[in-house]
Amino acid sequence: MLLFLAAAAGGGAWWAYTRVHSPYRGAAGAETFVDIPAGTGPIGIGARLVDAGIVQDAWTFRVAVLLSGRARELKAGEYRFDAPLTALAVVDKIARGEVYTRMLTFREGLTIAEMAAVFEERGFGVVADFSKAAQNASLISDLDPAARDLEGYLFPETYALSRNTPASEVVAQMVAGFRKAFDEGLRSAAVAQGLTVRQAVTVASLVEKETASGDERPVVAAVYRNRMKIRMGMQADPTVIYALQKAGKYDGNLSKADLQFDSPYNTYRYAGLPPGPIAAAGRASLAAAVKPAAVDYLYFVSRNDGTHVFATTLAEHNKNVFTWQVEYFRKLRRAQGAGTRK
C-alpha cells in the first residue's frame, strides 16, 4: 500500500512537472491579447488565460504560480501572446510586466489637426476623438488660463501606448510631457523676463516652425523677442499658413495675396504675437524662447538649405533677400535651363 501511495505521489509530481513545462497554445489566430485589470488576483488571471487559450487549465496555472513563487509580482496590463508558451513562461511574462505597447511618434512642429491625423494613420483611433480630447483646455488651465484648446501644449515625442489607449489618455500623457519639458526652470526664466507661459510657448512655436537648426533656435528666438520689445510686427509666414489651415484655405503654397488674409493669427496684418501657439515646440525651442541669444537682429532670410542669414537693419535684410531669394533662384533657373539643353 505504501509503495502504491509513493508511486501515485511520484506520478502526480511528474505529471504536474510535465504539465507546467509543456508549451501550450489553444488560441486560434496568429496573436492573442489578454487584458488583466488592476487588482486581479492569481485566480482571476488564470481564468482569463484559460478562456483565451494561453494555458491549458486553471490548475496548471496555479501550480506554475506556486512553483515560481511570484504570486505577488503578477502585474496588470494587456499582454500579447503569439506562440506556444509553458505555464511557467506565462507566469514569468506577467510577473516581469511585459505589457504590450505600440510606439506613437509625434514630431516637432505639428498642429493639433496634424497630430490627430497621425493618431488615426497609426491605427490608434479616429481623428474626431483626438481632436475632441485636444479641446480639453482644463488640462493646462493652471499654466495658461487663456487657453481654449491644447495647441502648443501637446509635447512632441514618442509614446509607448497599449493597444486600446483612448485619445483622452494619449492627450493627457502629452500634456504631462509638456509640463516635464517646460519645467520649473524654464517657467521661472519666462516670468523673470516678463513673459506669460502662453507668450513663451507661442514664441517657441514660431521658432520651431522657422528653423530645424539647433544652433539657430536661440537666434531666431532673439529676433522675435527683439521685435516684441519695440512693438514691431512678427511678420512670420508660418502664422499665415496656420491661419489659412484653420480656415481650410491652405493649398500648400503661400502667395503674396495670402499675406493679406484677415485673421488674428496673420502677423503681417496684426502686430505682436499671434493669439496663441501655432504648433508643438520641442524642448530646444521652448528653451530658446526664454533664453534667446544676446544679439540685436531683427530680420532673417532663408539660405534655402535649412539655415538663415540674419540682419539688424532693413537695408542689410533687403540685400540678403536679393542675394538669397532673387539671385539664388535666378542662378538655379539658369543652371536648370543649361542642364535641359544638354
Q: Is 239:320 a contact under the CB 8 Å cutoff?
A: no
**Phi-psi region for residue 111, left (φ > 0), alpha (ψ -120 to 50) or beta?**
beta
- Please state the domain count of the chain: 4
> What's the average model confidence in pLDDT over 120-140?
96
> What's the average model confidence in pLDDT over 235-242?
95
Query: Is the pLDDT score of 334 beyond 80?
Result: no
State the burial class of residue 77 (Cβ atoms within 10 Å of its Cβ: 0-12, 13-18, 19+). middle
Predicted local distance difference test score (pLDDT) of residue 306:
85
Rg (CA), the chain: 29
**Cell triple for residue 219?**
537666434
Phi, psi of 76 (to 5 degrees): -70, 160
> What's the average model confidence in pLDDT over 131-135?
98
Q: Is 99:78 a contact under the CB 8 Å cutoff?
A: yes
Residues 268, 304, single domain; the answer is no
Structural domain contains residue 1: no
Structural domain contains residue 191: no
SS3 286: helix
Lowest mean pLDDT among 21-35, 44-58, 120-134, 186-200: 21-35
> What's the average model confidence in pLDDT over 167-171?
97
Predicted local distance difference test score (pLDDT) of residue 252:
86
Q: Is 280:155 a contact under the CB 8 Å cutoff?
A: yes
Residues 284, 230, single domain; the answer is yes
Q: Is 77:99 a contact under the CB 8 Å cutoff?
A: yes
Higher pLDDT: 113 or 162? It is: 113
Higher pLDDT: 99 or 342? It is: 99
Segments forming the whole domain that contains residue 176:
102-181
Closest CA to 298 of 195, 208, 225, 209: 225
Query: Is the pLDDT score of 309 beyond 90?
Result: yes
Handedness of CA 214, 218, 220, 224 (dihedral sign): positive
User: Which residues are within 8 A (CB) of 208 and not within 5 positions of it... i.e. 6 or more apart?
Assistant: 108, 109, 279, 280, 281, 282, 285
Predicted local distance difference test score (pLDDT) of residue 342:
54
Query: Is the pLDDT score of 41 beyond 90?
Result: yes
Query: Is the pLDDT score of 256 beyond 90?
Result: no
- Residue 82 belongs to domain with CATH number: 3.30.1490.480
pTM higher than the cut 0.85: no
Mean pLDDT of the chain: 91
Please report, rounded to a whole number, the percentage of residues in the chain having pLDDT higher than 90. 79
Structural domain contains residue 4: no
Structural domain contains residue 187: no
